[in-house]
Homo-oligomer: A and B are copies of this chain.
Amino acid sequence: MKACGLIVEYNPFHNGHVYHIQEAKKTAEADCMIAVMSGDFLQRGEPAIIDKFHRVRAALASGIDLVLELPYPYAVQSSDLFAKGSVQTLYQAGVDSICFGSESGDISHFITSYEIFKENEAGFKEMLQSGLQNGLSFPEASRHAYEKIGLSGGEMDLTKPNNILGFSYVKEILEQQLPIKPLTITRTSSGYHQQTISGSIASATSIRKELLTHESITKTANDTMPAATIKQLKDYISHASSWHTWENYFQLVYYRVMTMSEQELAAIHGVDEGLEFRIKKTAKQAESFHDWIEKIKTKRYTWTRLQRIFVHILTNTKKSDIKDIESGSTVPYIRLLGMTKTGQNYLNKIKQNMEIPIISSFSRNKHPVQQLEEKAVKAYYSILCPKNRQELFKQELLAPIITE
């Protein structure tokens, strides 16, 4: 059985994702489609609008055979650590290929870019450091560094965020010499961050915007997602009464910051260079979460970076919690969230030879990484009423979802 891996967030799962699964399956000639998916908090530092289990069910209904969880300490990170966690999870799950979407749709561009990068790595790092020292944000400094080594514009523009993620996957595969074939397919016309919907294929950003603005599933939103997603969105709302947004967490994270000392805040992952003082100072005037980030934002601290930091404050994730993740060469376990019969057959074949344990539910003796995951889940559900959060949390204790 040939397996193809996808790196996903499915926030929410939409028609563009269905298209990507189908195209990837053809390109990879795969029998089993494996997705590694972020949990309740996402790479750009946001809560997912619905929880992971409801997103898993939508994916299993539309072509994914196996859903593995990207553990929290890899999921809410910049591209390098995010790519390491995702690619290593798929590697441990024995995929033959990893297929991601890109604008060029040509994998040779990514491979050539990696070769150019490796040849000029010293120069790149030097340029990056000097940019950071001059007060640039990480993305800005990277952009300058990529420009310097000739990786901007043209066929492979590493100054575009979506190319950066794809490039990071390819880099992790080639750097670690993993026996995985990197593949890419052309993205559908809708841009990654497109804000408005036109037709049945739309960006997740525009779909979320539509859902949250209208606080319901409008006809426009409905047309962009498979029936299984609509069912899961409705089911989630029936438990949780609203979708999750940062504003719902504003009171909790404000409260936490207000009852932490500066030293405690500085121990949180990502809070560096005196940012603790700026976070505390701006809290007093913040009218909303959005307003708070606006007040903190600097050239150096981008919106996305600050959102990620706030997720770590919300979940009380410390620098010391992430240290082992950063230095480790692979992931400590595979957490299985759901599977089809095909996925189950695949898993039965590969599991004897696996190097790391497969975990399904939260166990009594949790790995430190799973302890971080548990705190994130608890924080995610904290905004719900006791009955609902108890009911939804139970999903973490059950066996993985199995569908036909």
Contact = CB atoms under 8 A, between A and B. Distances in A.
Interface of A: 250-252, 254-256, 258-261, 264, 284-288, 314-316, 371, 375, 378-379, 382-383, 386-387, 390, 393
A284 B315 contact: no
Nearest to A389: B254
A386 B286 contact: yes
Contacts of A250: 386
A382 B316 CA distance: 18
A387 B264 CA distance: 26
Contacts of A382: 251, 254-255, 258-259
Question: Mostly helix, strand, loop or mixed at chain A's interface?
Answer: helix
Given A251-B382, A259-B315, 15 more contacts: A251-B252, A254-B382, A254-B386, A256-B256, A259-B316, A259-B378, A259-B379, A259-B382, A260-B316, A261-B371, A284-B393, A285-B390, A286-B386, A287-B387, A288-B386
Given A285-B390, A390-B285, A258 B383 contact: no
Nearest to A394: B284
Nearest to A386: B287
A378 B258 contact: yes
Contacts of A287: 386-387
7 contacts: A251-B382, A252-B252, A254-B382, A255-B379, A258-B378, A259-B382, A260-B316
Nearest to A259: B316
A288 B386 CA distance: 7
A259 B383 contact: no
A198 to B, nearest CB: 36
Number of copies: 2
A262 to B, nearest CB: 10
A118 to B, nearest CB: 41
A253 B148 CA distance: 51
Contacts of A387: 287
A326 B379 CA distance: 34
Contacts of A288: 386
Closest 8 CB pairs of A and B: A258-B378, A255-B382, A259-B316, A259-B375, A287-B386, A252-B255, A259-B379, A259-B315
A252 B249 CA distance: 11
Nearest to A379: B259
A375 B255 CA distance: 10
A387 B287 CA distance: 7
Contact of A251 (B259, B285, B383): B383
A131 to B, nearest CB: 35
Interface centre among A260, A287, A378 (most CB of B within 10 A): A378
A286 B250 CA distance: 23
B284 A375 contact: no
Contacts of A379: 255, 258-259
Contacts of A315: 259
Interface centre among A261, A387, A393 (most CB of B within 10 A): A261
Contacts of A393: 284
Contacts of A259: 314-316, 375, 378-379, 382
A278 to B, nearest CB: 17
Contacts of A260: 316
Contacts of A316: 259-260, 264
A53 to B, nearest CB: 18
Contacts of A390: 284-285
A225 B255 CA distance: 33
A284 B284 CA distance: 32
Nearest to A250: B386
